[in-house]
């Protein structure tokens, strides 16, 4: 579905990413982990060519993104940014804009039908005529996901989809993403800071450190040692109700253990 090979990117002469490589299959969620400034958002933007990588290739269904026009890229992958601001536009029109890569001169009946269907799928029908600047953070995030879904791509890129959301909305968004990946059989690449959310909802991971992939594999196989080395803090990983959880070990805990 998606294959990234030897990708490198620099701002001016300062390296941000070096020799990045990974792949994503249909129906799979891959999370990009790492500390602030590790290059997670930059990597997402290199995948969909918002940024042009200095080296390496990004292949989508066997075709290099470098060889695609912007409209073609938009038919292959949808991007949900970290911050989605409201505006004086209705929810329906905002979601309909996701059909842009497929439009001719103007939207047709099929574009309206698909927009209605996605709004219903995400329980947003009741908000269709509401303006974005009247929505909550969680509602705005769902609208952004709806706009991405109506693009009908096989790959979904998401930058911190639960940023600034409360616990209920975080859970709803991540359960929605998990369900979308499986029901639509699409690949998802997502940056996220919440390690416990990553452990619960993702399938694969890559950790970025010092501009490179520091670790990668199945999310359930991530080790306390790797987490500690990437984030600079000692942790334990326990299992609760069948789900692994990362528990930071404080200085006081270590003293008490001693």
Q: Residue 251: which pLDDT band, with cuts at 50, 70 and 90?
A: low
pTM: 0.88
Q: Residue 189: which pLDDT band, with cuts at 50, 70 and 90?
A: very high
Q: Residue 254: which pLDDT band, with cuts at 50, 70 and 90?
A: low
- Residues 6 or more apart whose CB falls under 8 angstroms from that of 184 comprise 149
How many residues comprise the chain?
A: 258
- The boundaries of the domain holding residue 138 are 2-222
Q: Residue 103: which pLDDT band, with cuts at 50, 70 and 90?
A: confident
Using DSSP's 3-state secondary structure scheme, residue 89 falls into coil
Shared domain check, 81 and 50: yes
More confident residue, 188 or 136: 188
Shared domain check, 122 and 231: no
Q: Residue 243: which pLDDT band, with cuts at 50, 70 and 90?
A: confident
Shared domain check, 33 and 126: yes
Query: What's residue 164's pLDDT?
Result: 73
Shared domain check, 59 and 17: yes
* CA–CA separation, 243 and 258 (whole Å): 28
Shared domain check, 236 and 213: no
Residue carrying the six token digits 């911050």: 83
Tens of pLDDT, residue by residue over 135-174, are 888 888 889 989 998 998 999 999 998 877 888 888 888 9
Shared domain check, 184 and 240: no
Query: What's residue 255's pLDDT?
Result: 53
Question: Domain total for the chain?
Answer: 2
């Amino acid at each position: 579905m998606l294959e990234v090979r030897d990708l490198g990117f620099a701002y001016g002469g300062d390296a941000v990413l070096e020799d990045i490589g990974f792949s994503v299959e249909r129906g799979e969620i891959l999370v990009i982990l790492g500390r602030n400034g590790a290059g997670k958002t930059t990597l997402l933007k290199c995948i969909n060519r918002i940024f042009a990588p200095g080296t390496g290739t990004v292949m989508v269904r066997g075709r290099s993104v470098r060889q695609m026009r912007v409209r073609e890229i938009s038919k292959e992958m949808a991007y949900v940014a970290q911050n989605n601001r409201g505006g004086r536009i209705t929810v329906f029109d905002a979601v309909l804009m996701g059909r842009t890569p497929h439009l001719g001169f103007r939207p047709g009946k099929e574009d309206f039908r698909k927009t209605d269907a996605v709004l219903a799928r995400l329980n947003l029908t009741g908000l269709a005529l509401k303006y974005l600047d009247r929505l909550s953070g969680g509602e705005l995030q769902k609208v952004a996901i709806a706009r991405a879904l109506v693009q009908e791509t096989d790959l979904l890129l998401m930058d911190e989809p639960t940023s600034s959301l409360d616990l209920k909305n975080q859970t709803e968004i991540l359960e929605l993403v998990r369900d979308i990946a499986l029901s639509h059989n699409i690949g998802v690449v997502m940056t996220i800071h919440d390690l416990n959310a990553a452990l619960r909802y993702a399938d694969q991971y890559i950790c970025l450190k010092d501009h490179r992939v520091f670790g990668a594999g199945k999310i359930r196989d991530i080790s306390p040692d790797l987490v500690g080395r990437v984030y600079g803090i000692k942790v334990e990983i326990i299992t609760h109700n069948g789900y692994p959880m990362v528990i930071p070990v404080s200085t006081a805990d270590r003293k008490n253990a001693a």
